[in-house]
């Protein structure tokens, strides 16, 4: 998510998929090398039950909905397509297409764009059309944001099943309804070696940057002290009178709430009572994107006012990035399940806050699990009577399925 918040979009035009068999075949051939050398992925494991579920859907309309913990997830899904001998279509954020060579390659691998936070009619229309045609499985990341913690699942967006129901409405006008499946997918990364030395070195770099004296105490105590130092610095920056004796969780939550409230007040955004923090962040990101990227029209004076408005709110992208560094972080995240993965999840968040970049920590094995497909035609009649209720129910069920699978995949984590 840092990428989308920090990069400034250069283009707004829709980028459709332009599949090219030769390019796709070449990428499939290069995939093992790129995964190992560039991404340090030593293996991608998909259990037999998961593969069977997907093979049974080979000729069916389906959208795959994986969690999105890292920037490697699209590669994992690309590997899954290769494993099945199929071609997937991917929905991706428009800013990824800014560089012409990257855009050319992405489109020919079946990737198309969406302007997040805006009414991207061309992208929405393409998504519905692809689901209705059903020639290839569509990959959509329903969280919308990435919090960079593999054991945290952000709330799924209701827009994903909505696209499916729209596709069914289109099909109903043309022919009898055939199944359209939404398929939950869980992706879990696990380190393949003892990571205690890596953790020790990473903590040392953070301690030196923050002016903390190295201690012989446990890795967890050192991590907690670093977290307290970072929160204390942030409190000073934003004029918060925090107390070191105050509960660290409360201080972290206080900083999140402060930043979100300040941004919402400036933008004139009102949250719904039931919206949790990730949903509120998504609302703010969408509002900022709309201001930054809408096509302003009118007199020269109106255009000047719009440019000033953009300049006033642009720095909020950095504030939201800071909130995202800690959106899934709390004092017991590591302590309650002491694994290398959770430890390095939090270290990565702290590195982004302190160094503005993450350190690559080592080779990983990726575990993929596919949940029971949900046929939207079974809920279509109910949807026509209660759209909001059914959308909420379907979205929650898919989210819970991914959470359950991730919890089960936790057995592959690396203990400390």
pLDDT digits (tens, 9 = 90+) for 64-105: 999 999 999 999 999 999 999 999 999 998 888 988 999 999
Rounded CA separation 93/110 (Å): 14
Rounded CA separation 254/258 (Å): 6
Q: Which residues of 227-249 are buried (b: 16+ CB within 10 A; e: fewer)?
A: bbbbbbebbeeeeeebeeeeeee
For residue 313, the model assigns a pLDDT of 84
- Computed from CA positions of residues 158, 163, 164, 165, in that sequence, does the dihedral angle turn out positive or negative? positive
Q: What is the mean pLDDT of residues 225-244?
A: 82
Nearest of 68, 59, 61 to residue 92 by alpha carbon: 68
Rounded CA separation 17/75 (Å): 17
Query: What would the pLDDT profile of 312-349 be if each residue is shown by its tens digit?
Result: 888 888 888 777 766 556 556 788 889 999 999 999 98
**β-bridge partners, 191:** 364
Query: At 242, is the pLDDT very low, low, confident or very high (cuts 50, 70, 90)?
Result: low
Looking at per-residue pLDDT, the higher value among 214 and 384 belongs to 384
For residue 329, the model assigns a pLDDT of 60
Which domains are delineated in the chain? 2-192+362-412 (3.40.1130.10), 196-355 (no CATH)
> Do residues 143 and 63 make contact, with C-beta atoms less than 8 angstroms apart?
no
Extended beta strands in 150-288, E state:
180-191
For residue 11, the model assigns a pLDDT of 63
Rounded CA separation 180/313 (Å): 41
Query: At 2, is the pLDDT very low, low, confident or very high (cuts 50, 70, 90)?
Result: very low
For 304, the enclosing helix (H) or strand (E) is: helix 300-313
- Model confidence at 360: pLDDT above 90: no
Model pTM score? 0.89
- Model confidence at 130: pLDDT above 80: yes
């Amino acid at each position: 998510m840092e990428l989308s918040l920090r990069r400034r979009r250069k283009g707004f035009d829709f980028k459709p998929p332009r599949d090219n068999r030769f390019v796709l075949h070449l990428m499939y051939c290069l995939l093992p090398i790129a995964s190992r050398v560039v991404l340090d992925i030593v293996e991608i494991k998909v259990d037999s039950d998961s593969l069977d579920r997907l093979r049974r859907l080979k000729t069916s309309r389906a959208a795959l909905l994986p969690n999105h913990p890292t920037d490697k997830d699209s590669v994992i899904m690309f590997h899954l397509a290769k494993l099945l001998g199929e071609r997937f279509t991917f929905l991706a954020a428009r800013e990824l297409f800014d560089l012409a060579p990257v855009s050319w390659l992405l489109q020919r691998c079946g990737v198309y764009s969406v302007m997040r936070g805006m009414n991207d009619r061309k992208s929405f229309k393409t998504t519905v059309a692809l689901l209705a045609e059903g020639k290839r499985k569509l990959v959509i990341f329903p969280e919308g944001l990435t919090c960079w913690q593999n054991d945290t699942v952000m709330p799924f967006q209701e827009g994903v099943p909505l696209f499916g129901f729209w596709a069914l409405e289109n099909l109903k006008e043309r022919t009898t309804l055939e199944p359209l499946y939404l398929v939950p997918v869980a992706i879990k990364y696990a380190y393949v070696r003892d990571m205690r030395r890596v953790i020790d070195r990473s903590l040392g770099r953070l301690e030196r940057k923050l002016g903390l004296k190295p201690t012989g105490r446990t890795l967890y105590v050192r991590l907690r002290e670093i977290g307290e130092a970072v929160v204390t610095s942030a409190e000073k920056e934003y004029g918060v009178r925090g107390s070191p004796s105050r509960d660290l969780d409360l201080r972290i939550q206080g900083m999140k709430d402060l930043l979100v409230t300040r941004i919402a007040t400036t933008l004139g955004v009102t949250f719904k009572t039931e919206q949790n923090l990730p949903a509120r962040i998504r609302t703010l990101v969408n509002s900022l994107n709309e201001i930054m990227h809408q096509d302003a029209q009118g007199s020269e004076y109106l255009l000047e006012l719009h440019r000033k408005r953009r300049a006033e709110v642009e720095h909020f992208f950095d504030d939201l990035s800071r909130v995202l560094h800690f959106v899934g972080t709390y004092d017991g995240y590591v302590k309650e399940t002491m694994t290398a993965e959770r430890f390095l999840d939090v270290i990565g968040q702290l590195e982004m806050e302190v160094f503005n970049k993450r350190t690559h920590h080592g080779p990983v094995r990726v575990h993929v699990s596919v949940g029971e497909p949900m046929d939207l035609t079974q809920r279509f009649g109910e949807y026509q009577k209660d759209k909001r209720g059914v959308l909420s129910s379907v979205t929650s069920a898919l989210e819970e399925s991914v959470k359950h699978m991730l919890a089960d995949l936790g057995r592959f984590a690396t203990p400390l």
